[in-house]
Amino acid sequence: MESEIKKVEKVEKVEKVEKVEKVEKIEKKEKVVNKSILRNTLGKEVPVADYFFGGKIAPGFEGTCGKPVDREDLLGVFNKVFKPEDNFLFYKAIDKEVYIIIPPIKYSTTVGDFNNSLEGDFQKHAISFINEGSVNLDTLKMKLGRIVKFCKFGDR
């Protein structure tokens, strides 16, 4: 009888340990998912809530939008069209010559309570060029200028 009780106690302990391990794994996964860091054109970290409706980053953001642009010539053109203090995000897709511009929600014309946006929604504009490294700075400036009309700067 005592050996059966000990077996039951061991089984209960094992089940408790397994449950704790599962919870710890889930918590670690959640921490990794929310660890995405957004950077503006000055390289400063910016809050996710300023760009993503509901304060949660869209799933697959880094895989789709890539990393912040770090080429000085492109950043120079970008910062002439959009003021660095406006905190627009300027990203480049990892495997293509596609640039993503993400305005903060406060300048957005398509994302917000007024538009029944879902959690994780964000306004984005894509600019593409034919070949890797084929970015023409004048064309980039012209294409960036077209994006301005899709942003509201009333509260600058």
**pLDDT tens track for 34-58:** 455 888 999 899 998 888 888 888 7
pLDDT at 33 over 50: no
**pLDDT tens track for 118-137:** 666 777 777 777 655 567 88
Interval 64-72 mean pLDDT? 87
pLDDT at 8 over 80: no
Backbone angles phi, psi at 102, to 5 degrees: -125, 110
Entry pTM: 0.67
Residue 137 corresponds to which tokens in the numbers above?
Answer: 């700075």
CB 88, CB 101: distance < 8 Å: yes
Tell the residue number behind the tokens 């994302």, with chain if given: 111
Q: What angle do CA 131, 44, 103 make, to 5 degrees?
A: 60
Q: Which residues pair with 92 in a beta bridge?
A: 67, 99
Q: What angle do CA 14, 17, 22 make, to 5 degrees?
A: 125
